[in-house]
Amino acid sequence: NLSPELSHILEFGYSYFAEKISGNLSPYYRHTNNVIQNFTGINDTTNVAYTTFENIGSNDALGLNAYGSVTPFKRWTVRGSANVFYIQQVGEFNNNKLFNDGVQYNFNLTSSLDFGKGYSAEFWGTINSKRVSLQGTVPSFSMMSVGGKKEIWKKQGSFGVNIFNPFQHYLK
């Protein structure tokens, strides 16, 4: 039976708003108890590997979150965010003391362009670093999407086409 994760967060934020630009900068500290992670172990009687989710321990994270939005032209908006933090994890599983730490980050970028008469296009992308776990790391990943849409029925609906990860073949 899993218990809920319990987090204590201290965060400060500074926001800026102007006609064509806005942003937010937030340093933070987060402590989480009852951290839920997947854990792979070996069954002692069958020697078969298994994976389960467990409340393994606690973690502490110290980081910086930033967000920004700019409208370079009337019909074009670019938004982005970044989150960079140092994380330290401690825990115990099957009477084994566990520890791991490292730097993690994620970046997001969205750009939308309104062509008028209900036509628009959008680009979206995200990059995530490898994730620190008590058994090592979880691989990094990235995704992107390019699409367009046409609003119909006086903006009560829309028809759109999106292509996800169109350049994935080149990202090895």
List, for residues 73-84, the tens digit of each pLDDT value.
999 999 999 999
Is the pLDDT at 165 greater than 90? The verdict is: no
Q: What SS3 class is residue 168? A: helix
Banded model confidence at residue 4, pLDDT cuts 50, 70, 90: very high
Q: Which residue has the higher pLDDT, 172 or 44?
A: 44
0.85 exceeded by pTM:
no
Cβ atoms of 141 and 105 within 8 Å: the answer is no
Under a CB-based contact definition with an 8 Å cutoff, are residues 55 and 44 in contact? no
- Going by C-beta distance under 8 Å and a sequence separation of 6 or more, which residues neighbour residue 168? none
pLDDT of residue 164: 87
What distance in Å separates the CA atoms of residue 96 and residue 37, rounded to the nearest whole number? Answer: 15
